[in-house]
Each structure stands twice: as C-alpha cells, then as structure tokens.
Amino acid sequence: MLDMSFENFYATTLFVFASFVPVLNPFGGAMFFLTLTNGVDPEMRAHMANRIAIYSILVLFVSLYAGNVILNFFGISIGVLRVAGGIVLFSAGWQALNAPANDESETPAKPKSARMLSSMAFYPFTLPLTTGPGAISVAVAFGANPARDFGDVLGLIVGVLLSGLLIWGCYRYCDRITRSVGTAGADALARIFSFILICLGVAIFWNGFSELYATLPR
C-alpha cells in the first residue's frame, strides 16, 4: 500500500496542471469554440461547455491509464495521431473560415438538437481541438511513470480535474467576448482564429509527418 506524502501531492498537482495547460491551450480553444459556435444560443453553448469539460477529463484519464495499451493494440503511434489530428483541425478551421458572416439583422438560426450538440461537443471540440495529440501524448507519458506514493496518485488525479475545470471556465464564459466587441468585431476575430486554427492543423500534421518520415527505411 502506498504512503501519503503531502509534499509529493502538491508538487505533482502543480506539475501535472502546468504541463497540461500549454498543450490543452483552453484560452485559445475557447476562441475557436466561440468561432465554431457562431450563432448558437448562449444556453446551448453553456451546455456544450459542460460536456466538453467532462469529455476532456475522461479523455485525459483514459489516456493516462490506458493510452499506451490502446495505441499499441491498434498499432497507432504518436506520429500517426498527430497527422490525423492535424487533418481534422485543418478541416474545422477551413469550414469556420468560409462560414457565412453572422448578421444582427438576420433571423436567428434554428437551434440544434440536444443530440447534435452532444455529438459536436465530443468531435471536434473535445477531440482533437481541446485534448489533441499533444495532451494525449503528455497524459500517456505521465501514465508510463510509476507513482512514488499515494500523494503522486492523488496529485495526478487532482491535476487532471483542475485542467478540466480551467477548460470549463474558459469555454463557459467565452461568449462575453462577443458582448464586448459586438457582432462585427466577433466576426473579425472568428476569421482570424479560424485561420490560426488552419495553421495549427498544418503544424501538427507536419510534426507528425516528420516523425513518420524519419522512420522510413533509407
């Protein structure tokens, strides 16, 4: 039975949380989320934010404790994961970039069904937009390291939960940006972040392709 060390608990919690924040990038993801849900009712967006946070936590825990097993079982490498994730992000960014502008004079679009929103919350918002190849690879790396004591185990769990809480906060209140800059400003920001999303997709794809290309026989 593992002993409990509060020092290890605090250190592990902070380390895990600090490691996940850059790869999850909830602040940038919230902007993409706002862009891709342009015209969605605020209550629906809040509902989606709740689901995205829950799904993100589940993906991180699965990657943490079963990531290596799943990837090895299907013969999927991190490079392949990055290539696939890059393609999906590029596709999502391209669709958002070419989406029609949101006009205040237009009649609001018919709200999407709860089933459609639930589907969108997981793909593409949770995977790969939020918990993409970077977050999954970090979680897999954490899961491969043996815990020193119960403090490490608990710190790992709390670190993941704190990351999910940050995701929820950023996504839940991202619509306040629209209220601050107005419809025209929000549409301009949407185009900018859509282009950035395309660039991120290309960058992730290229990193994955470079890893795969390096493994080819000469």
13-17, 136-140, 176-180: least confident range: 176-180
Is residue 206 included in any domain, yes or no? yes
117 in any annotated domain: yes
Residue 60 counted as domain residue: yes
Alpha-helix residue ranges (DSSP H) falling in the chain: 6-24, 26-36, 42-74, 78-97, 114-120, 133-144, 150-172, 176-214
pLDDT above 80 (res 144): no
Number of domains in the chain: 1
The residue that leads in pLDDT, 182 or 40, is 40
Q: In the chain, which ranges are E strands? A: none
Residue 13: which pLDDT band, with cuts at 50, 70 and 90? very high
Residue 20 lies in a domain: yes
Distance CA 128, CA 191 (A): 20
User: What average pLDDT does the segment 11-17 reach?
Assistant: 92
Q: Per the domain annotation, does 1 fall within a domain?
A: no
Name the 3-class secondary structure at 53: helix
Q: How far apart are CA 181 and CA 203, in angstroms?
A: 29
What 8-state DSSP symbol labels residue 98? T
Query: Measured between alpha carbons, how far is residue 67 from residues 13, 81, 143 in Å?
Result: 20, 12, 8
Which of the four pLDDT bands, split at 50, 70 and 90, describes residue 107? very low
> 194 CB contacts (<8 Å, ≥6 apart)?
32, 35, 93, 94, 96, 97, 99
* Mean pLDDT, range 179-189, rounded to an integer: 72
- Give the whole-number percent of the chain exceeding pLDDT 90: 24
Q: Which residue, chain included where needed, has tokens 């946070």?
A: 53
- What average pLDDT does this structure show over 143-147? 77
Comparing 62 with 97, which gets the higher pLDDT? 62
Choose among 24, 54, 60: nearest CA to 157. 60
pLDDT band at 166 (very low <50, low <70, confident <90, very high): very high
- Asked whether residue 91 is domain-assigned, the answer is yes
**Residue numbers of the domain that contains 84:** 7-100+110-213
Q: Is residue 218 very low, low, confident or very high in pLDDT (cuts 50, 70, 90)?
A: confident
pLDDT band at 209 (very low <50, low <70, confident <90, very high): very high
What are the start-end ranges of the E strands in 163-211?
A: none
The reply to whether 2 falls in a domain is no
- pLDDT of residue 57 exceeding 80: yes
Check residue 189 and give its pLDDT.
72
